[in-house]
């Protein structure tokens, strides 16, 4: 028997909306699954973005890290002389050291000591390709001057940003020493720190007198114009490499950081598991709805079979219902996710953007889970014998 696609869609729609309570329960379950998937994807993306923001803006083609380096912030270092050896390789323009440490910052409102991430750089050398840093870093040539991360958690460090915007430079306490907050920049919260402070080398070693300028945490290698970074990485590694250091391209350095948080720290894995759980939960809910719908309408389906409707008509009917449910459930789930993204970003400082690619991944996952649930529900329909239903 010939039937039109419109006819099948109309029947699928009428069966879905016939029982309003069941439809509401289905949409609530699917929306929750979409919410769980999108939120986990959002956290995963925010983790990678926050963990690599500084790394992605390092103004150098090659990076030198010490042996045992785990993440940007781990307490590993190497001899500065090794970095100077790299400076002697043909094709290298200059080398620059970065020093960092976790340090105490006195909350300017409560006076409580909080941990913050401190970075020491050479002012004026544009080591961080961040517009706000480039425009203001000459201020860091003054001893005791620092720049504060305006995306740091105000609940931890006080209303530093508001005070600076209102009054200009002011005195704060870092590692028990008075410093002048002389500018703001934007890095944001990471999994390693709730805020960041940038300073010149002179100020850094005044705050950390037991640290040595000869021990570098991360080294930057800038190359001559037109030199291939990949080829130079191999060349430098052969010339000065050893068991105490490793030379990476900037892209490899960024990937190293991502791999640490995803594999070694296993934080990324937890987010992936959460997204998978959302997928499974949604699939189970849709299966229950479609299975119940099939069972409740078996007599009607039997009548249609007796009238000559083929099996693929019923298969298409169930799949259409699955797709309808996926679309109806995706919309409120996405809106709720958008609200949670904004709330989380405002509360934590993490970058949470509900981009098109995240929404596309979530919708594709939702459609797949609904189709899989529909395929499972169809097995019961195909097994049904019309003759048995009328006995």
Confidence label for 2 from pLDDT (cuts 50, 70 and 90): very low
**What pLDDT shows up at residue 48?**
80
The mean pLDDT value for 342-366 works out to 81
Bridge-partner residues for 197, per DSSP?
Answer: 118, 148
Q: pLDDT tens digits for 104-117? A: 999 999 889 999 99
Residue 265: what pLDDT?
A: 61
Beta partners for 99? 120
Q: What is the pLDDT of residues 272-287, one digit of tens each?
A: 777 787 778 777 777 7
By mean pLDDT, which of 104-113, 133-142, 355-364 is the weakest? 355-364
Identify which has the larger pLDDT, 359 or 252.
252
pLDDT attached to residue 375: 77
What is the model's pLDDT at position 219? 95
* Residue in 89, 138, 146 with CA at minimum distance from that of residue 116: 146
CB atoms within 10 A of CB 266: 10
Distances (CA, A) of 261 to 56, 111, 266, 271: 16, 32, 6, 11
**What is the C-alpha separation between 160 and 179, in angstroms, rounded?**
13
The CA angle 65-66-69, to the nearest 5 degrees, is 85
Q: Which of 47-61, 70-84, 223-237, 299-313 has the lowest mean pLDDT?
A: 299-313
pLDDT at 50 (0 to 100):
78
Q: What angle do CA 343, 345, 350 make, to 5 degrees?
A: 150
The pLDDT value given to residue 107: 92
Q: How far apart are CA 80 and CA 87, in angstroms?
A: 11
Q: pLDDT-derived band of residue 119, with 50, 70 and 90 as boundaries?
A: very high
Q: Rounded to an integer, what distance in angstroms lies between the CA atom of residue 65 and that of residue 46?
A: 24
For residue 63, what are the contacts with CB-CB under 8 A and spacing of at least 6? Answer: 55, 218, 219, 220, 221, 247, 248, 249, 250, 252, 253
The per-residue pLDDT for 81 is 92
* Residue-level pLDDT at 47: 77
The values of phi and psi at residue 137, to 5°, are -65, -20
What does the pLDDT read at residue 1? 44
Within 10 angstroms of residue 343's Cβ, the number of other Cβ atoms is 11
Q: How far is CA 338 from CA 87, 273, 386, in A?
A: 48, 21, 47
Percent of the chain having pLDDT more than 70? 89
Mean residue pLDDT of the chain comes to 84
The pLDDT value given to residue 271:
74
Q: Classify 119 in phi/psi space as left (phi over 0), alpha (psi -120 to 50) or beta.
A: beta
**Beta bridge partner(s), residue 171:** 180
pLDDT in tens, 252-273: 999 999 888 887 766 667 777 7
pLDDT digits (tens, 9 = 90+) for 315-336: 777 778 778 888 888 889 899 9
Question: What does the pLDDT look like over 194-243, one tens digit per residue?
Answer: 889 999 999 999 999 999 999 999 999 999 998 999 999 999 988 887 78
CA distances, 197 to each of 39, 102, 266 (Å):
29, 10, 27
The answer on pLDDT for 380 being more than 70 is no
């Amino acid at each position: 028997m010939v039937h039109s696609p419109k006819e099948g869609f109309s029947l699928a729609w009428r069966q879905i909306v016939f029982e309003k309570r069941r439809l509401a329960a289905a949409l609530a379950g699917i929306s929750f699954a979409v919410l769980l998937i999108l939120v986990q994807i959002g956290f995963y993306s925010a983790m990678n973005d926050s963990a690599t923001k500084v790394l992605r803006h390092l103004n150098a083609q090659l990076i030198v890290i010490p042996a045992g380096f785990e993440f940007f912030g781990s307490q590993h270092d190497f001899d500065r002389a090794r970095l100077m050896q790299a400076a002697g390789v043909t094709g290298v323009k200059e080398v620059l050291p970065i020093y960092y440490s976790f340090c105490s910052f006195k909350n300017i409102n409560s006076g409580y000591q909080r941990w913050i991430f401190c970075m020491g750089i050479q002012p004026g050398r544009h080591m961080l390709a961040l517009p706000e840093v480039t425009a203001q870093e000459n201020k860091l040539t003054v001893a005791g001057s620092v720049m504060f991360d305006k995306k740091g958690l105000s609940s931890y460090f006080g209303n530093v940003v508001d005070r600076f915007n209102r009054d200009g430079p002011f005195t704060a306490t870092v590692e028990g020493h008075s410093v002048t907050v002389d500018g703001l920049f934007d890095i944001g919260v990471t999994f390693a720190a709730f805020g960041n402070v940038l300073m010149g080398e002179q100020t850094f070693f005044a705050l950390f007198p037991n640290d040595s300028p000869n021990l570098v945490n991360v080294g930057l290698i800038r190359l001559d114009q037109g030199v291939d970074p990949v080829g130079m990485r191999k060349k430098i590694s052969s010339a000065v490499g050893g068991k105490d250091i490793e030379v990476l391209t900037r892209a490899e350095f960024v990937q190293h950081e991502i791999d640490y948080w995803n594999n070694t720290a296993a934080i990324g894995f937890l987010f992936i598991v959460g997204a998978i759980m959302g997928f499974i939960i949604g699939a189970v809910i849709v299966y229950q709805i479609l299975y119940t719908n099939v069972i409740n309408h078996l007599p009607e389906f039997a009548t249609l079979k007796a009238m000559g409707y083929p099996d693929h008509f019923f298969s298409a009917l169930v799949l259409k219902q699955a797709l309808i449910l996926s679309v109806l459930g995706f919309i409120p789930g996405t809106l709720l996710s958008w609200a949670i993204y904004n709330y989380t970003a405002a509360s934590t400082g993490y970058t949470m953007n509900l981009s098109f690619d995240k929404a596309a991944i979530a919708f594709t996952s939702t459609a797949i889970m609904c189709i899989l649930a529909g395929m499972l529900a169809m097995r019961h329909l195909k097994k049904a014998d019309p003759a048995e239903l009328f006995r």
